[in-house]
Amino acid sequence: MDAAANFYLPEGLPIPAPARTDLSTPYWDGLREEVLRVQRNPRTGRYQWPAQWICHDDQGFDIGWVEVAPRGVIYSWTRVWHPTHPALREHGPYIAVIVELAHANNIRMLGNLLGDPMQPVLIGAAVEGVFEHHERADPSYTLLQWRVAK
């Protein structure tokens, strides 16, 4: 997606670009490469999200980043009718989903569901990630959006 007209959300939103020393840099760098990365404890194999400096399961500090498939199921959702950010004032409704990644210890990620904002949404529906590149932003960045799997 290069053209601004193809963006799910309008221009003018704050840029979610990480600082180079930020904890989430591997996640954002992965999105630029069209790869979804999350943290995984190398001792126990347990995945975790959101990113933390410490492993959730054994409180170790040796946490790593691994690639996972950008596929999951809708765990929960809401149709947003009254966006609070000024750039979204004329862009509602839209659908926000919590996606559960069964292949990664059922970690859950928040995102937008692409498509008709009035579409029926089913809990448990399979979804796949879509990488939305914002090349004209300074600095450029990529977002992970979701769509119902075909």
Q: What is the pLDDT of residue 42?
A: 97
Q: What is the pLDDT of residue 18?
A: 59
Residues of the chain with pLDDT under 50: 1-5
Q: What is the pLDDT of residue 124?
A: 98
Q: What is the pLDDT of residue 40?
A: 98
Q: DSSP assignment, residue 10?
A: -
Q: What is the pLDDT of residue 116?
A: 93
DSSP 43-89: TT--EESS--SS-TTT--S--EEEEE-SEEEEEEEEEESS--SGGGT
Q: What is the pLDDT of residue 21?
A: 67
CB atoms closer than 10 angstroms to residue 27: 20
Distance (Å, rounded) from C-alpha 18 to C-alpha 25? Answer: 6
Compute the Cα dihedral for 37, 143, 95, 49 and give only its sign.
positive
